[in-house]
Each structure stands twice: as C-alpha cells, then as structure tokens.
Amino acid sequence: MKLVIQINGAARELEILEPGPNCRYRFAQAAERTANVELPEPGAYSILTNGRVYEARVEETPAGLVVLVDGHRFEIDVQDPRRWRSKAAGGGGEGVAAVRAPMPGKVVRVLVAAGDSVAAGQGLVVVEAMKMQNEMKAPRAGRIIKIAVEAGSAVSAGEVLATIE
Amino acid sequence: MFRKVLVANRGEIAVRVIRALREMGIGSVAVYSDADRTALHVRLADEAVRLGPAPSSESYLRIDGILEAARAHGANAIHPGYGFLSENADFAAACDEAGITFIGPSAESIRRMGSKTEARRTALAAGAPVTPGIDHAITLAEARQFALEHSYPILLKAVAGGGGKGMRRVDTAHDLDSAFRDASSEAERAFRNPDLYVEKLIERPRHIEIQLIGDRHGNMIHLGERECSIQRRHQKVMEECPSPLVAGHPEMRREMGEAAIRAARSAGYYNAGTVEFLVDQQRRFYFLEMNTRLQVEHPVTELVTGLDLVKLQIQVAAGQPLPYTQENIDWRGAAIECRIYAEDPANNFLPSPGKLTRLSRPLGPGIRLDGAVYAGSTVPIDYDPLLAKLAVWAPTREEAADRMVRALREYDVGGIRTNIMFFRGILEDPEFREARLHTGFIEEFFQRYRPEAPSADVWEAAALAAALHTLSRAPAAAQSNDARKNAWLETGRNSLLR
C-alpha cells in the first residue's frame, strides 16, 4: 500500500509491503527494509530495525498525527493516494490567514481593528491563560479583515481570533 | 501532635503534604475548587471540602471558606503549602484567632519579611550584607538621584513584590522615566500597591538560597544552600543542592547560613523559611529576600540532607523542639530538580493546558517525582501549569546530571506540550556541566542552543509508526482483506480501544 507521508512539511512516499508485527516497507527509491513492530501500550510503538530499538509515541490531534521519537517531535499527515485523506496545505504567503488561539483562555486586549494594516510579527490579540498573558502575533504582513473576539471573550483552543488578508 | 490537618492548597504540594500526614498517622482534609474535584490531592486525602468555583479568588484564596472547612471537619492545624495564602499574614492571624495552628511562621514574621523593604532593613540590622539601595518607597526623582550616586545599571523593584513582577532593569538615564512608570503600574496591577524601591544591579549574579528551620523554643538551624540560578523571567525552573560554587568554597555555606539565621532570628522567625542571596562574580553575597514558607524546590535539600522538611514543619508547629542541632546536619551527594510545566518551549513557553492522554513516569535508582497528574487527568487553565517536580540524587553533580538526562528520556507526557526536552538541552549544555551559572543563563543558552536534528533512522521510525497507526485506525469497512487478516492490527486496534 503506497502512502504519502508529510513530515514537518516535507513529503515522502512510503510503501507498506506488509504491516506489523514483521513489517516490510520501502521509502521511495530506497531498498526494501524490515522492522519488527509491536504496540505494548496504546499509542506507543516499539520498533526494532537494523538491530536498534526505537520507541515512537503517536498522538492524534485535530491537525493530524504528532509522533515523538527520542524526544524529537514530528507533525505528520498520512495520505493514501487511493483514498484521498489529504488536507489542504496551509500557511502560504498569499490569501487569507487565520490567527487561532493555541490554548483555551480569555481575551484581555484586542490591539488592532478590522481594516488595519499589520506587519509580520505584530501583536494582534492578548490572551490570558494560567495567569500568563500571551500576545498572538500576525503570521505575516497584511490587512486585518476580521477580528472575531473582543476583550473579555472566552476562547477555546483552535478558535479563530482574527483573519488577515 | 495534631489529629487532623487541613491542606489549603492544590497540585503537587498538596499531594506532598498529604503524603507526609499519612506517614505520620495524621488525618488529612483536602480543599478543592470546581476545576479540581478529580485532582490527585482530593483522591489521596482522607476528607475533602469544596471551596467554590475555579478562579482562585473564589476558592483557594478564600480565608473564610478555608477556616469554615477546618472547623467543620475538626482540623486542628492548616498547612498552606506555597503560593496562594502561604505568605498572607492576615490568613496566619485569622488561623490564630480561630484557634487553629498555622503551620508556618507567626503572622508578625510574615508581615515583617513579606515587605521587601522592611526585610532589607531587618537583614541589614542583623548584620547580613545587602546590595546598595533605598529601603522605602521612592519617587522618580529619588531613583534618578540614586542612579547618579551609584551609577547605572540599577534595578527598580515593587515594595510588595515577588516573582519578578514590577521589576525593571534600567541601564541608562534615558530609560528611567518609562521603566519607572511601567514597573509601578505593573506593581499596582499585581499587588494593588504601586510603590517601588531601588537597588544597585549586580551583573550576572548567582541566586543561592539558604534553607532554615526553627522551632518555637528559640532553636534554629540551616540546612545548607540551593543553587537556583537557572531562571526564566525571574522564575526558577531548575535547582540543585549543593550549589556547585559553594561546594568548591565550603566556608560560604557557613557564612551564608549564619547570616540567614541572624536575619531570621531578628524577625522572631520559626518554622521553615528560606533566605535568598545574590552572589556576585567575586563570591560576595547579598541578602535578597526571605520566603516565609516551604519552597517549591525543597526536595533537593531533602535528598542531600536526608531530612523531611514537611514533617519537621508539622513537628515544630505542634510545639515539639527541633530534633537536630546544626552539628547533626550533613550533606551527602548532589541533587537536581527540574520543574516540569505544561508549556511549549518551541512556542515562547506558551501554556499548554489540557488532558493528559499518556503518561509514563521515570523510575529506577535515585529518582524522586513529586507530581499531581495521572493519565487522563486535566491540567486546568486556572492555575500555575506545574505538572510535577522531577528530582534526582547521585553521589556527584556529574552523575546527577547524567541521571536527570536518563530520567527525562523515560518521561513521556501525551496530549499536552511540556518543557521536558528543554531541560535535556540545558543538562547537555557544556556551560551547565561546567557550572558557569548566573541568573541570565537561560537567555544566553537560547542564543547558543541548536537542537540536534533527528537522524535518518529516527525520522523513518516516526514515518513508519505514523503509517502503521493510520492503517490500523482506518474504518473497518475500508480496510483491505490483508489488513483484516493481520492479527497484529487486530491486537493494535483492540488495545487502542481499551
């Protein structure tokens, strides 16, 4: 089964010839490899390959999979070209960008208004969580088309605070 | 001895105190807000009382509610932990009036040492060195005059302050006006008191503090020092005992210990307390402030001295004399503590509250973990995001650092971000290993820190795990017959559904 793996933004093809526990697989243009894979705990994959042990912790998030191996963090999107499970790639320099709350909290201040031109990195909205105030910044330069919150609003993680054009 | 003690706190420190009470055969009463009904401290206590809604001002800071809970449950003493009401003189006084023992110093000692300026005057009168400064609320003009006499840089600080709030470093006369205004309004917001005082700034100081414990019969000893120079935004994140500097200059422990005892004695101090010093490049030490409570970082002192500070607090609060004299105290080996927070180091340490989906704790030789979370528990947005304190002990500092790296590798927290990897970076940093510490260490560390890129093997293991995980999670109807026949995938799916 051929899959396209997006890891931290970079795409690579991975063909699973046989799933676990005695897994055979091949990365694009590379030789076939084998790995013994077990799932000793939910979300914890123990991988033996080339005589070495790797522990991969897999977590499902709304934005895709997060995989931790030896302290390294990978944001991964797995696409099966036959079954279209892809997501639109975001974060380009053009079009409309949304600034989202990274955590639940409360809006303490709104620093800009709709119609304002902002520079990349400029503070837009101050959100307080756990007694800490955090300034949400513009991901790039542009014009504010909408401020979706006001001072005092409670916001949940992922909620859109402002949109930039 | 007390029959029952109410613990007026939450999180790991409430758990820490409840554990000591259980070992001493004393009943425990937990208090909780609506955000904490299923928190570990409630689950571990003998009895528990709801205080109110999640905001601290309506729960953990409610003096009336806490005293009412203590009375209703027949607690004869209250342990305040750290933070919340622990350094609130009114609370200590209210406990006295209610006939309930406050496990800490007297309200009068808290008041005297709680005011930074009065604490400085007390320390100075007791012969403890202090940095040049003005020990009362000042005007902008007085700050300008002070800077003329002592030269920049200077440090503006809040009279009622703590935790770096209302504090500003000023390097030039040009910056003084705005720094004064900002610090004052920050102090007003944080402490409802805009008053500032001024000190000469010490460049690249170490933060070294002395742990004290005294009884109500006039006995007081010190339990040595802790090095707390690894700070971020004036908050300690990593502490060790002994201080590597003091370990190389043993006379410093005696001199600082004696200065700390003199300052505390002159404030009529008893129970546990900590005197903080700044130490300059010439190893001169200056009184900074006194914390009139148990410190977050007390475990490193316990690991190296073999004592239990919480039990000692409870014993001396019950009127027992200290069971040790200064000659009995010995320091063995080295301990390091990391404060594990729900925060994202890759994203400016933004808090990362939420539900813990996975939790694997480090175990094995020399590990001590004081935590208040479990797999499935939620880190609420309402409080300090401290998950746990991971402390290690080893015969030497080098071995303790290696052990901490090992422990951090075993520590896995899923569902939220943590600063675990950040600590691995510090512990492997050559400057840290050589103990060239100062309070600006972390800022400089970030300038030189280049996280190691994952090897190709690690990268491929991550990709493979993600692929297999996605295949095992695919809806049954969409799965190929090959996959369906595969026992491993069935097992995997079942264990994921558990």
**Tokens at B367, concatenated:** 């590990």
Q: How far apart are CA B132 and CA B200, in angstroms?
A: 6
Candidates B10, B168, B232, B293; catalytic one: B293
Chain position carrying tokens 């004696």: B258
- Reply yes or no on whether B189 is catalytic: no
Residue A14 has pLDDT above 80, yes or no: yes
Per the CB < 8 Å rule, is A57 touching B414? yes
Q: CB atoms < 10 A from the CB of B405, how many? A: 15
Residues in B closer than 8 angstroms to A35, CB to CB, are 464
Residue A91 has pLDDT above 50, yes or no: no
C-alpha distances (whole Å) from B481 to each of B485, B489, B497 are: 6, 12, 21
- The pLDDT value recorded for residue A138 is 84
Per the CB < 8 Å rule, is A132 touching B381? no
Q: Is 3.30.43.10 the CATH classification of the domain at B206-448?
A: no
- The pLDDT value recorded for residue A126 is 87
Whether B357 and chain A come into contact, CB under 8 Å, resolves to yes
The backbone region for B337, taken as left when phi is positive above 0, alpha when psi lies in -120 to 50, beta otherwise, is beta
Q: How confident is the model at residue A89 (pLDDT cuts 50, 70, 90)?
A: very low
Distance from CA of A90 to the nearest CA of B (A): 19
Q: Among 3.40.630.30, 3.40.50.300, 3.30.1490.20, 3.40.1710.10, name the CATH number for the domain at B132-200.
A: 3.30.1490.20
Q: Is the dihedral of CA B419, B420, B421, B427 positive or negative?
A: positive
DSSP E strands in B83-141: the ranges are: 101-102, 133-134
> Residues near A21 by Cβ (< 8 Å), separated by ≥ 6?
A36, A37, A38, B488
Q: How far apart are CA B54 and CA B77, in angstroms?
A: 24
Q: CB atoms < 10 A from the CB of B376, how many? A: 12
Buried b (16+ CB within 10 A) or exposed e, B441-475: bbeebeeeeeeeebeeebbbbbbbbbbbbbbbebe
Instruction: Choose the closest CB to B353 out of A56, A69, A130.
Output: A130
Q: How far apart are CA B370 and CA B410, in angstroms?
A: 16
- B40, B54, B15, B60: which is closest to B382 by C-alpha? B54
Distance from CA of B468 to the nearest CA of A (A): 7
Per the CB < 8 Å rule, is B471 touching A83? no
> Residues near B334 by Cβ (< 8 Å), separated by ≥ 6?
B240, B241, B242, B247, B304, B393, B394, B395, B396, B397, B399, B400
Per-residue pLDDT of chain B in tens (498 residues, 90 and over written 9): 999 999 999 999 999 999 999 999 999 999 999 999 999 999 999 999 999 999 999 999 999 999 999 999 999 999 999 999 999 999 999 999 999 999 999 999 999 998 888 999 999 999 999 998 988 899 999 999 999 999 999 999 998 877 778 899 999 999 999 999 999 999 999 888 999 999 999 999 999 999 999 999 999 999 999 999 999 988 999 999 999 999 999 999 999 999 999 999 999 999 999 999 999 999 999 999 999 999 999 999 999 999 999 999 999 999 999 999 999 999 999 999 999 999 999 888 999 999 999 999 999 999 999 999 999 999 999 999 999 999 999 999 999 999 999 999 999 999 999 999 999 999 999 999 999 999 999 999 999 998 888 999 999 999 999 999 999 876 543 444 444 444 455 554 444 444
Q: Which domains does chain A have, with CATH numbers?
A: 2-79 (3.30.700.30), 97-164 (2.40.50.100)
Q: How far apart are CA B467 and CA B285, in angstroms?
A: 57
Q: How far apart are CA B95 and CA B103, in angstroms?
A: 10
> Where are chain B's structural domains?
4-103, 132-200, 206-448, 461-497
- The pLDDT value recorded for residue A98 is 77
B4-103 and B132-200 share one CATH topology? no
Tens of pLDDT, residue by residue over A98-145, are 787 767 788 989 999 989 999 888 889 988 876 677 788 887 888 998
Distance from CA of A21 to the nearest CA of B (A): 6
Whether B185 and chain A come into contact, CB under 8 Å, resolves to no
Distance from CA of A119 to the nearest CA of B (A): 19
* Surface of B (448-487) touching A: CB under 8 A: 454, 457-473, 478, 480, 482-483, 486
Fold topology of B4-103: Rossmann fold (3.40.50)
Instruction: Choose the closest CB to B488 out of A20, A52, A71.
Output: A20
Chain position carrying tokens 């030497």: B396
- A64, A60, A37: which is closest to A48 by C-alpha? A37
- The pLDDT value recorded for residue B492 is 47
Instruction: Choose the closest CB to B466 out of A19, A42, A58.
Output: A58
| Residue in A69, A85, A127 to test binding to B, most B beta-carbons within 10 Å | A69
| Residue in B339, B412, B469, B473 to test binding to A, most A beta-carbons within 10 Å | B469
Q: Is the dihedral of CA A15, A18, A21, A26 positive or negative?
A: negative
Q: How far apart are CA B120 and CA B280, in angstroms?
A: 18
DSSP E strands in A8-90: the ranges are: 10-18, 22-27, 33-41, 44-49, 52-61, 64-69, 72-79
Per the CB < 8 Å rule, is B466 touching A74? yes
Per the CB < 8 Å rule, is B464 touching A131? no
Q: How confident is the model at residue A93 (pLDDT cuts 50, 70, 90)?
A: very low
B103 close to B80: Cβ distance less than 8 angstroms: yes
Q: CB atoms < 10 A from the CB of A30, how many? A: 13
Whether B244 and chain A come into contact, CB under 8 Å, resolves to no
Tens of pLDDT, residue by residue over B284-338, are 999 999 999 999 999 999 999 999 999 999 999 999 999 999 999 999 999 999 9
Instruction: Choose the closest CB to A102 out of B350, B473, B489.
Output: B350
B371 close to B12: Cβ distance less than 8 angstroms: yes
ipTM: 0.79
Residue B77 CB-density burial (10 A; 0-12 exposed, 13-18 middle, 19+ buried): buried
Instruction: Choose the closest CB to A35 out of B357, B412, B464.
Output: B464
Chain position carrying tokens 């005197």: B275
